[in-house]
Amino acid sequence: MSETKQERIKELIEKLNEASKAYYKEDIEVMSNFEYDALYDELVSLENETGIIYSNSPTQNVGYESSTELVKERHENPALSLDKTKEPQVLADFIGDQKGLLSWKLDGLTIVLTYDSGKLQKAVTRGNGEIGEVVTANAKTFVNLPLTIPYEGKLVIRGEAVIKYDDFELINAEIADVDAKYKNPRNLCSGSVRQLDSKITAARRVNLFVFSLESAEVDFHNSNEQKFLWLKTLGFSVVPYKVVDKNNMFEAVKEYAKEIETFDVPSDGLVLLMDDIEYGKSLGRTAKFPKNAIAFKWKDELAETTLLDVEWSPSRTGLINPVAIFEPVELEGTTVSRASLHNISIIEGLKLGIGDTITIYKANMIIPQVAENLTGRNDLVPPCTCPACGGPTAIKNENDVKTLYCMNDECPAKKIKTFADFVSRNAMNIDGISEETLEKFIGQGFINNFSDIFKLEQHKDRIVAMSGFGEKSYENIIRSVNSARKTTAQRLLNGLGILGIGPANAKVISEFYKDDFSAIMNADIDELSTIDGIGGVLANSIVDYFKIETNREIVLELLKEVEIEKKENGSDAEKLKGKTFVVTGSLNYYENRDQLKAEIESMGGKVAGSVSSKTSFLINNDALSNSSKNKTAKSLGIPIITEAEYISMFKNDE
């Protein structure tokens, strides 16, 4: 037995395990899907050839656990994955003289559901195959899942939770900011099912398609198709399938290949299941795969093109991400011209150089990736300076992955959160500029300080030409920016990111100085300390901020771009003075609690987070609920009023 092959097996195991760990545990992609699949297939081939399978081989391990706040639970039976092929002939050989069921391999999140006494009792995600997360409350919001069924025994099924393309598009259509839109239905579905608030799941219109019946005390006459037919009678949506044998296998695959063009449910391949239950069981299973079924993945559509450039995009962590820019090509029905290269190690592995002939594919038919380099110039040099700030860069080698970083602590790209807070709803309220958009604009050098946000019109041509943008996106951003020019001292002060200064503190300070921002900038510690709720620590924080000359210059430039409104001391300004409100539960008349809170404060009232003896009113549309706040309010004799009652009492003229 060749020692070289053994060493290659060990090398492949190490590479694949590191890639899986980075991807599943740290959200870092150290190699492309194309490369991973090639290495995995090589490992399988070597294991079959040598007969050596190590315990830490990815062919034996189901996967990594995800970090989450959801309760975890061990599956009664491991939720194994399937062996796979990209060749229809392998499907025909697999089925042999048997009959099979060829169905869609849906691309969502696998859920194991348990029913008992006719009711849904439990729903658990597949997780790592051994341990999943309990998502029962969220599963009860799936639009096509029956909560009660006409079967009183214990029933365990497995299905795929998915968000259909039509619903995905509708959800994205409601998001104005291009960068805030969801990338694909699978990621949106996974996040939706694992929400801590089932209301969010319900709004996402998640569907569930059953693909396996694990246990039920019913005679299915030794046929998996009979299981599917029976599940349909109980009200379940079963994954669409075709009955096949080796004679019609190729035709069935061709039909699916045509149907996928208009199929509304995300799919990344097919699954072939033996219809004969006992025969399938007799085949047994490996540590990772059952032998009664196999997955079929479509061959990746490859397109050849020319690498034109590599764009280096700085991020808030200092990491500078390389993005390949190439001659546009058609893939899976869309035109693509960009693909992430992830890090320098991948660039070196591909031996990239400008002008190289490369092949592009879409991972899972969605995300553009560089598959191969056909010419290998191998002369691409990472930049020595950061595109955002011009500061020096350095290559770091962590876990044998080379990445490029900006070494300037003052790089604006590292202060994305500061800019995000500035444009947020409680600050300047510039709708349509997400953190991702800020990251791109800062990376392109459009934004270096707050005032630059109000000068984006200077970069119109470049913004419109950027990937993911266009004339409409640009116009929406500029409209939001111009709307924010008329603002308040409170919003501006809150948006600067001064340590310890939030919306409430910014409000009392602005009111004390009657919205005179020049007075706020020149205030001293003694005067600030006299303001109700502003002690010595916060007073020092404000004074120290404006002592720094660069901060003063940034604010003075900003004041040239905005107009601060002066509050009128009308009859409503003192209407709720001395009253403290607590708001809980869902709202019907206000967009959110922040909107109601701002209104109460504009009339001189206060809003607290918890009920106490100082509370004047608890606003809760469900006055009869047994919530802790309701109970506390009742025990203290504090009035519980609805939104409508609040409006009637304090907003309507008497």
Residues 555, 542: contact at Cβ < 8 Å?
A: no
| Residue 528 near residue 543 (C-beta atoms within 8 A) | yes
Q: For residue 381, which phi and psi values (nearest 5 degrees)?
A: -110, 125
Measured from the Cβ of residue 424, the count of other Cβ atoms closer than 10 Å reads 16
Closest CA to 619 of 654, 650, 573: 650
- Token representation of residue 467: 């990937």
Amino acid symbol at 515 = D
Give dist(CA 598, CA 594) in Å, integer.
Answer: 6
Q: Residue 542 is which amino acid?
A: I
Please, what's the largest Cα pairwise distance for the chain? 95
Say if CB 383 and CB 393 are below 8 A apart: yes
Q: Which residues of 113-147 are buried (b: 16+ CB within 10 A; e: fewer)?
A: bbbeeeebeebbbbbbbebbbebbebbebbeebbe
Known active-site residue 105: yes
Catalytic option among 105, 414, 597, 629: 105
Q: Quote the CA–CA distance of 348 and 379 in Å, as a whole number.
A: 9
Distance CA 249, CA 516 (A): 77
Q: How far apart are CA 214 and CA 516, in angstroms?
A: 70
Yes or no: say if 495 and 509 are a contact pair by the CB < 8 Å rule: no
Q: Residue 323's closest CA among 306, 303, 305, 344?
A: 344
Instruction: Please state, as a whole number, how many other Cβ atoms lie within 10 Å of the Cβ of residue 560.
Output: 8
**CA–CA distance, 619 with 646 (Å, rounded to integer):** 7
**Residue 508 amino acid letter:** V
Residue that is written with structure tokens 């501006």 in the block: 492
Nearest to 239 by CA among 228, 251, 254, 223: 228
List active site positions.
Answer: 105
